Structure 1
Amino acid sequence: MKPMVRKTTVVGLKNCYRPLSISAIKCQEAQKDGNGASGAARGKKPLSRIPIGAAETHTQKIDTGSTIEFTTWKAAALFLLLGGGVYYFFKNEKQRLEIEKEAEANRGYGRPLVGGPFSLIDENGEPFTEKDLLGKFSIVYFGFSHCPDICPDELDKLGVWLTELKKRNINLQPVFITCDPARDPPEVLKEYLSEFHPDIIGLTGDYDAIKSACKKYRVYFSTPPNVKPGQDYLVDHSIFFYLMDPEGQFIDALGRNYDEETGVEKIVEHVSAYVPKADREKRKDKWYSFLF
Structure 2
Amino acid sequence: MNKLFPLLIAFFLIVSAVVIGLWFTGGLPGLGQNKGQSSSTLVGVPQIGGPFSLVNHKGERVTDEDYRGKLLLIFFGFVNCPDVCPTEMQTISVAMNELGEQASEVVPLFITVDPKRDTPEAMADFVAAFHPSLVGLTGSEEEIDDVKKKYRVYGEKQEGGDPDYYLVDHTSFTYLMGRDGELITVFSFGVPAEEMAAKIREQL
- Give secondary structure in 2 for the equivalent of 1:180: coil
Corresponding position: 1:159 with 2:89: no
- Give secondary structure in 2 for the equivalent of 1:131: helix
Q: Which residue of 2 aligns with 1:104?
A: 39
1:1-292 matches, within 5 Å, as: 99-100=33-34, 104-105=39-40, 107-108=41-42, 113-168=47-102, 171-225=105-159, 229=163, 231-269=164-202, 271-272=203-204
- Give secondary structure in 2 for the equivalent of 1:213: helix
> Using the alignment, how far apart are the partners of 1:125 and 1:179 within structure 2?
17
For residues 143-189 of structure 1, give each alpha carbon's deviation from its aligned partner in whole angstroms, at most 9, with x where no partner exists: 10100011111001110111111245652111110000111000010
Question: Percent identity at matched positions?
Answer: 39
- Unpaired segments of 5 or more residues in structure 1? 1-96, 273-292
For residues 30-78 of structure 1, give each alpha carbon's deviation from its aligned partner in whole angstroms, at most 9, with x where no partner exists: xxxxxxxxxxxxxxxxxxxxxxxxxxxxxxxxxxxxxxxxxxxxxxxxx
For residues 6-37 of structure 1, give each alpha carbon's deviation from its aligned partner in whole angstroms, at most 9, with x where no partner exists: xxxxxxxxxxxxxxxxxxxxxxxxxxxxxxxx
Q: 1:180 to 1:154 in 2, by over 3 A?
A: same
Give the TM-score normalised by the residue count of structure 2: 0.76
> Using the alignment, how far apart are the partners of 2:104 and 2:201 within structure 1?
8
8 A contact 2:39–2:183 mirrored in 1: no
For residues 62-117 of structure 1, give each alpha carbon's deviation from its aligned partner in whole angstroms, at most 9, with x where no partner exists: xxxxxxxxxxxxxxxxxxxxxxxxxxxxxxxxxxx963299534x44699701112
Q: Deviation at 1:136?
A: 1.0
Give the TM-score normalised by the residue count of structure 1: 0.54
Q: Which residue of 1 aligns with 2:28?
A: none
Superposition RMSD in Å: 2.5
More helix by share: 1
> Using the alignment, how far apart are the partners of 2:120 and 2:104 within structure 1?
27
> Using the alignment, how far apart are the partners of 1:194 and 1:174 within structure 2?
13
Q: Deviation at 1:133?
A: 2.4
Would you say how many aligned residue pairs link Structure 1 and Structure 2? 173
Q: 1:137 to 1:189 in 2, by over 3 A?
A: same
- Residue identity in the other structure for 2:109: V
- Unpaired segments of 5 or more residues in structure 2? 1-30
- Give secondary structure in 1 for the equivalent of 2:39: helix
> Using the alignment, how far apart are the partners of 2:183 and 2:153 within structure 1?
13
- Give secondary structure in 2 for the equivalent of 1:120: strand
8 A contact 2:93–2:131 mirrored in 1: yes
